[in-house]
Amino acid sequence: MFRLSGIVSVLLAVFCGAMLFWTSQSVQRAEQKLSEVSREAQNEEETLRVLTAEWDYLNRPERLEALTNGNLDLDAPMVDGKSIIESADQIPQPVVPVIPKVKPANLLQYVSTQKKSAEKNEPAVIEKNDSQDFDKLLNNMATGAGQ
Amino acid sequence: MSAFQRRKIYMSGTQQTSLEQARGRLVLMSAFFVFAYVIVLGRAADLSIIQGELQRSGEDSLYEVVDNQGAAEHIRGDIVDRNGVLLARSLKTASLYVDPVLIQEPKKVAEDLVKIFPDLSYGSLLQKLQSKKRFVWLKRNISPEDQSKILYLGYPGLNFKEEMYRIYPQGALAVHLVGASGIDGQGLSGLEAGFNDYLKTSDEPLQLTIDVRLEHVLKREMSKTIKDFNAKAGAGIIMDVETGEILAAISLPDYNPYDYNEASSNAKFNRLSLGVYELGSAFKVFSTAAYLEKTNSDVARKFDVSNPIEIGRFKIRDYHPEKRSMTVPEIFMHSSNIGSAMMGEQVGTEDLKNFYKDIGLFDAPDFEIPEVGKPLIPDPWRDVNTMTASFGHGIAVSPLQLIRAASSIVNGGYLVTPTLIAQKNHHKNALKESRLRVVSPQTSHRMRQLMRLVVTEGTGTKAQVDGFLVGGKTGTAEKPGKGGYNRSQLISSFLGVFPMDEPKYAIFVMVDEPQGNKESYGYATGGWVGAPTVARVVSGMVSVLGIKPRTEKNFEGSLLKYVKTKEQIKKEQEIEAH
């Protein structure tokens, strides 16, 4: 009953079982990972679908027109109801912004400088911060009074 | 001697007692049970510890409740414009349903739900929460924000089912082309209905020929005209005369595609391709082309238009009678009904009918949306119909048919097919070769000159846009009512084409029952209503498309020798008086 070959075959069976168990666990883990990744990808895709739809919604010609009319002081150059531009060649070429050709991860080095220039060019952002600055000022006054 | 060897000897004995036999069986049974328990234990550890850990790490707390049955379904395809701007897309949304059996405190649940959805009534919610069914819809297609609020409430029984919701980012813009779809994703009108099967199965978006920017320009200007002239309705189309592509098309009033069921039938009515109208003088483009084709471009011939034509009970008269003999260019630029009727007579009934048939005025056009109307053609067609049809009376066609026929005449003489679907690898030359010729290049050239003359000297001077060589034809038609035509109810239109020396775009605008205003000195004709609208549309178009203005050469110049100046006419009248 307990011959050496028997013991070896039992051990072999146990080893095979363990290997099988390990493999099945690995497969299950891999499958789990795969479904997780594909679900994430699906979610990202769905998010993209929503965001592009929102982009096109926000860029409706009607809305852009209303925004430019309300916020920009742009009018066609006219004199007595006639355009002063006689030919389209007089219109300067639009300036195309230069975008650095780098991967997103490398863009971080540009962030700090870009932020500074953005702050300089956008008075709206500064206006928004005004209330916060006012709070800061109040705090400073309070601490100053304490001192 | 080891224990194993002793047992071996012992077990290999020939005489076994029944006690030993029982012992052996017991050992075997115990081994079997121990083995079974080990397997069960192992499996329990696997399920509870190993796999449980895996599952916990993959949980998504917000969306786990969402029924994922819809994930395998095909998402209805997008509809985009020629630049890829979205016109329609299906997005996943959650819809709220309830299993009333699981609701413990219906009153409290209803109160909380009303706070989240103020548009739902407390009473009907309570009724739904207390029903005996196991599935009741509470609200379909709710926002993610509302969904998280409901999840936060944490009531068992309130569940979500994932559904697809069709969104139209451009709203009512181009709604008569794109159409609308129902809550279950079935196309109800427009391309949504015409391409229902394609949208249901294809992964590729449906790309249209329209440009939302031009669509906006056209809508803005049409709306302004309708408002300024207090009109009932209107329609406008911009077509590429070479390919037949519709770049923009508007039918007003329009409706919000989300409110298809609530919209009035007046707003839903497609005036572009379904409505047919007697469009008046714009038809002179076709009768004049037929005349030029028949007489080999004889523009010098004079017609005496001083007296109205009477045939039986019909009387053909001019709006602004010139009371003299006029050449073909004069008849065209002053839009003389009498002259056009005479030219139609010259062409002959059969030839005019055949010509109208060739340019697609007799049949409903092949178009990609289901809303296509059949033209109203006089039956039987008598000789008097030939005369009235020469200036657009007694024959009703859709604006789509009219712009198609006009494009086919000015583009060099090739019949174009109106289309809304962008074709990849669209080779214009290859298309032109395969197309049908309807008028000769000479006639096409003469027609361009004549249409330019209308804008520089004739009834359509308000369509002039400096630097863009606009040409066109005005149209003013009385609407048929009870007992004849109603002089106070007009359909005023303008058919514009530019640039006239090498036509690229045709624009047709039609306004239903405009009322004259102060600025127009009470006039509500095509020249006062339609022509300025087209001028504004052209101004908008050139800035959107970046078309450069050019120095205007005297394109219609060779026709001017057939046109008498005011001084010449005055002189002649004085001589006659003497």
B466 to A83: CB separation less than 8 angstroms, yes or no: yes
The answer to whether the CB of B170 falls within 8 A of the CB of B87 is yes
Q: Is the predicted pLDDT of residue B420 greater than 80, yes or no?
A: yes
* CB nearest to B549's CB, from A28, A52, A88: A88
What pLDDT is recorded for position B68? 45
Question: In chain B, whose CA is at the least distance from the CA of A61?
Answer: B213
Output the DSSP codes for B282-342: GGHHHHHHHHHHHTTS--S-EEE-SS-EEETTEEE--SS---SEEEHHHHHHTT-HHHHHH
What pLDDT is recorded for position B521? 87
B281 catalytic per annotation:
yes
- The whole-angstrom distance between A96's CA and the closest CA on chain B is 16
Nearest to B360, CA basis, from B394, B307, B406: B406
Please compute the mean of the pLDDT values over residues B455-466 and round it to a whole number: 88
Q: Is the predicted pLDDT of residue B423 greater than 80, yes or no?
A: no
CA A76, A82, A84, A89 torsion-angle sign = positive
What pLDDT is recorded for position B70? 44
Question: How far, in Å, CA of B215 to CA of B328, rounded?
Answer: 36
Please name the helix (run of DSSP H) or strand (run of DSSP E) that holds residue B167, with its range, or none. Answer: strand B158-167
Question: How far, in Å, CA of B333 to CA of B39, rounded?
Answer: 99
What would the pLDDT profile of B311-336 be if each residue is shown by its tens digit? 877 788 887 777 788 889 989 988 88
Question: How far, in Å, CA of A60 to CA of B96, rounded?
Answer: 31
- The whole-angstrom distance between A60's CA and the closest CA on chain B is 6
- The whole-angstrom distance between A85's CA and the closest CA on chain B is 10
- Token pair 């309300």 in the structure block, residue: A70
- The whole-angstrom distance between A83's CA and the closest CA on chain B is 9
B173 to A62: CB separation less than 8 angstroms, yes or no: yes
Please compute the mean of the pLDDT values over residues B400-417 and round it to a whole number: 92
Please compute the mean of the pLDDT values over residues B520-537 and round it to a whole number: 90
DSSP three-state, residue B62? coil
Tell me, yes or no, if A122 comes closer than 8 A to chain B by beta carbon: no
What pLDDT is recorded for position B550? 78
- The whole-angstrom distance between B2's CA and the closest CA on chain A is 13
pLDDT band at B401 (very low <50, low <70, confident <90, very high): very high
Q: What ipTM did this prediction achieve? A: 0.79
B54 to A29: CB separation less than 8 angstroms, yes or no: yes
Nearest to B532, CA basis, from B479, B491, B472: B472
DSSP assignment letter at B398: -
- The whole-angstrom distance between A106's CA and the closest CA on chain B is 30
Question: How far, in Å, CA of B532 to CA of B460, rounded?
Answer: 9
Q: Which of B90, B251, B273, B281 is catalytic?
A: B281
Tokens of A8: 């070896």
Least confident of A68-77, B217-226, B361-370, B539-548: A68-77
Least confident of A18-27, B21-30, B135-144, B399-408: B135-144
Report the helix count and the strand count for chain B, using DSSP H and E: 21, 14
DSSP three-state, residue B459? coil
What would the pLDDT profile of B107-145 be if each residue is shown by its tens digit? 888 999 998 888 888 898 898 888 888 888 988 888 888
Question: How far, in Å, CA of B283 to CA of B510, rounded?
Answer: 13
What pLDDT is recorded for position B141? 85
What would the pLDDT profile of B229-266 be if each residue is shown by its tens digit? 999 999 999 999 988 899 999 998 999 998 888 889 99
**How many other C-beta atoms lie within 10 A of the C-beta of residue A77?**
11
Tell me, yes or no, if A29 comes closer than 8 A to chain B by beta carbon: yes
Q: Is the predicted pLDDT of residue B342 greater than 80, yes or no?
A: yes
Q: Is the predicted pLDDT of residue B176 greater than 90, yes or no?
A: yes
Tell me, yes or no, if A45 comes closer than 8 A to chain B by beta carbon: no
What would the pLDDT profile of B479-500 be if each residue is shown by its tens digit? 887 777 877 888 999 999 988 8
* Percent with pLDDT over 70 in chain B: 92
Question: How far, in Å, CA of B534 to CA of B508, rounded?
Answer: 8
What pLDDT is recorded for position B445? 92
**Better pLDDT: B487 or A36:** A36
B173 to A60: CB separation less than 8 angstroms, yes or no: yes
The model's pTM is: 0.79
Which of B212, B250, B465 is most worth mutating to test chain A (most A CB atoms within 10 A of its CB)? B212
What pLDDT is recorded for position B424? 64
B51 to A28: CB separation less than 8 angstroms, yes or no: yes
What pLDDT is recorded for position B169? 92
Tokens of B90: 């299906």
| B34 neighbourhood in chain A, CB within 8 Å | none
| B91 neighbourhood in chain A, CB within 8 Å | 46, 49-50, 53
The answer to whether the CB of B250 falls within 8 A of the CB of B170 is no
What would the pLDDT profile of B501-515 be if each residue is shown by its tens digit? 889 999 999 999 998
Q: Chain B interface residues facing chain A, Cβ-Cβ under 8 Å?
A: 4, 7, 11, 42, 46, 50-51, 54-55, 58, 60, 71, 85-86, 89, 91-92, 167, 169-171, 173, 212-213, 215-217, 220, 466-467, 548-551
Give the HSE-up count for residue B234: Cα atoms under 13 Å, Cβ half-sphere: 30
What pLDDT is recorded for position B548? 80
B54 to A39: CB separation less than 8 angstroms, yes or no: no
Tell me, yes or no, if A28 comes closer than 8 A to chain B by beta carbon: yes
Question: How far, in Å, CA of B539 to CA of B302, rounded?
Answer: 37
The answer to whether the CB of B239 falls within 8 A of the CB of B417 is no
Least confident of A22-36, A44-58, B8-22: B8-22
Distances (CA, A) of B264 to B166, B230, B371: 21, 19, 16
**Better pLDDT: B72 or B267:** B267
Tokens of B91: 């997005």
What would the pLDDT profile of A77-123 be if each residue is shown by its tens digit? 666 666 655 555 666 666 777 766 666 565 566 655 544 444 444 44
What pLDDT is recorded for position A22? 92
Question: How far, in Å, CA of B196 to CA of B201, rounded?
Answer: 9
* CB nearest to A32's CB, from B11, B58, B216: B58
B89 to A53: CB separation less than 8 angstroms, yes or no: yes
What pLDDT is recorded for position A117? 47
| B55 neighbourhood in chain A, CB within 8 Å | 32
Tell me, yes or no, if A38 comes closer than 8 A to chain B by beta carbon: no
Nearest to B491, CA basis, from B482, B483, B480: B480
